Amino acid sequence: MRTPLIAGNWKMNTTVSEAKELVHKILKVLDKIENVEKVICPPFVSLAAVAEILKYSSIKLGAQNMYFKDKGAYTGEVSPLMLADLCEYVIIGHSERRQYFNETDGLINKKVKAALEAGLKPILCIGEKLEENEAGKTEKVVSRQLYLALADMDRLSGTVIAYEPVWAIGSGRSATGEQANETIGFIRQKIANLYDRVTAQNLRILYGGSVTADNISEFVKQIEIDGALVGGASLQAEQFISIVRQTADIRSHLASG
Ligand code: PEP
């Protein structure tokens, strides 16, 4: 069985002191929850301070973005090498980066490759827009994004995929567990076609889009869904703890049953 993963994407929220405060609120309880990989992704400026707090804990750190070059004259950018010192994960291709910062599939491909080369585990985000969903184009869109993001890559190593329908992000309108399970099963099949069955079976694919403590169970009880990428709810300590705890409980129940 694949170990479930719950990742909190704090987006552009929290000052350094607020980030430290939030980590202190979740640390003790989350640290003790087993059988779920727990990852938090604070803003760049808080990574070093948060890494220090998490040093001896089971909670892992991720960044929300990176550039694909290792160093050089790229003012304002953060490189994979800089992150590899601090983090284990990095979110790549989030729909907000695609939408507001014009990130293309080609750029995302470069970033995924650079992350792996630096020893980081990319959390690659893919997902369709509302109009694409309504036009029945979900599978077409996610397979295109997948093929382009993974172009010329012969191994996935620790890559994680997050299926995040754009219409579900920050909207309070999540997909249903069944819808997400179906699309994630489709993505896994595409990975089997691109690579092989073992790679597809070992790959963790998360759902993301308005996940809360009230609906997490709907997703993690599904056979294809290996956890969640959580935005808004990860900024509330009790919500995030409850999401992780429910995931651990449901998964251990499924494993024993
Ligand atoms: C996200 O940021 O990836 C996300 C899914 O946000 P939210 O949970 O707020 O919809």
Report the nearest atom of ligand 1 relative to the CA of 162.
3
Q: How many residues does the chain have?
A: 257
Q: Is the pLDDT of residue 1 over 90?
A: no
Residue 256 confidence (pLDDT): 83
What is the pTM for the complete model shown?
0.97
CA 256 to chain centre: 26
87: its two tokens? 């983090």
Query: Does residue 169 line the site of ligand 1, with CB under 6 A?
Result: yes
Which of 87, 33, 24, 32 minimizes the C-alpha distance to 227?
A: 33
Compute the distance between CA of residue 132 and CA of residue 98 in angstroms, rounded to an integer.
15
- Phi, psi of 162, deg, nearest 5: -115, 115
Q: Give me ligand 1 centre to Cα 13, in Å.
A: 13
Burial annotation 138-163 (CB, 10 A radius, 16+ → b, else e): beebbbebbeebbeeeeebebbbbbb
Query: Does residue 7 line the site of ligand 1, with CB under 6 A?
Result: no
Return the residue whose CA atom lies nearest to atom 7 of ligand 1: 231
Compute the distance between CA of residue 37 and CA of residue 239 in angstroms, rounded to an integer.
16
253 is catalytic: no
The pLDDT tens digits for 119-134 are: 999 999 999 999 999 9
Identified catalytic residue from 37, 103, 128, 164: 164
Q: pLDDT category, 257, cuts 50, 70, 90?
A: confident
Q: Give me ligand 1 centre to Cα 96, in Å.
A: 10
Task: Tell me the percentage of the chain whose pLDDT exceeds 70.
Answer: 100
Q: Is the pLDDT of residue 100 over 80?
A: yes
Beta-sheet strands, E only, within the chain: 5-9, 37-41, 59-63, 89-92, 121-126, 160-163, 204-208, 227-230
Q: pLDDT category, 79, cuts 50, 70, 90?
A: very high
For residues 6 and 243, the answer to whether their CB atoms sit within 8 Å is yes
For residues 14 and 46, the answer to whether their CB atoms sit within 8 Å is yes
The pLDDT tens digits for 176-203 are: 999 999 999 999 999 999 999 999 999 9
Q: Give me ligand 1 centre to Cα 219, in Å.
A: 14
Return the residue whose CA atom lies nearest to atom 6 of ligand 1: 231
DSSP 142-195: HHHHHHHHTTT-S--TT-EEEE--GGGTTTS-PPPHHHHHHHHHHHHHHHHHHS
Q: Give me ligand 1 centre to Cα 171, in Å.
A: 9
Query: Does residue 208 line the site of ligand 1, with CB under 6 A?
Result: yes
Query: Does residue 145 line the site of ligand 1, with CB under 6 A?
Result: no
- State which of 5, 9, 160 you would mutate to test the pocket of ligand 1, scoring each by most atoms of that ligand within 8 A of its C-beta: 9
Residue 212 confidence (pLDDT): 98
The DSSP secondary-structure symbol of 90 reads E
Return the residue whose CA atom lies nearest to atom 4 of ligand 1: 231
Cβ burial, residue 174 (10 Å; 0-12/13-18/19+): buried
Query: In the predicted model, what is the mean pLDDT of residues 151-170?
Result: 96
The pLDDT tens digits for 197-247 are: 999 999 999 999 999 999 999 999 999 999 999 999 999 999 999 999 999
Q: Is the pLDDT of residue 255 over 90?
A: no
Residue 89 confidence (pLDDT): 98
For residues 67 and 110, the answer to whether their CB atoms sit within 8 Å is no
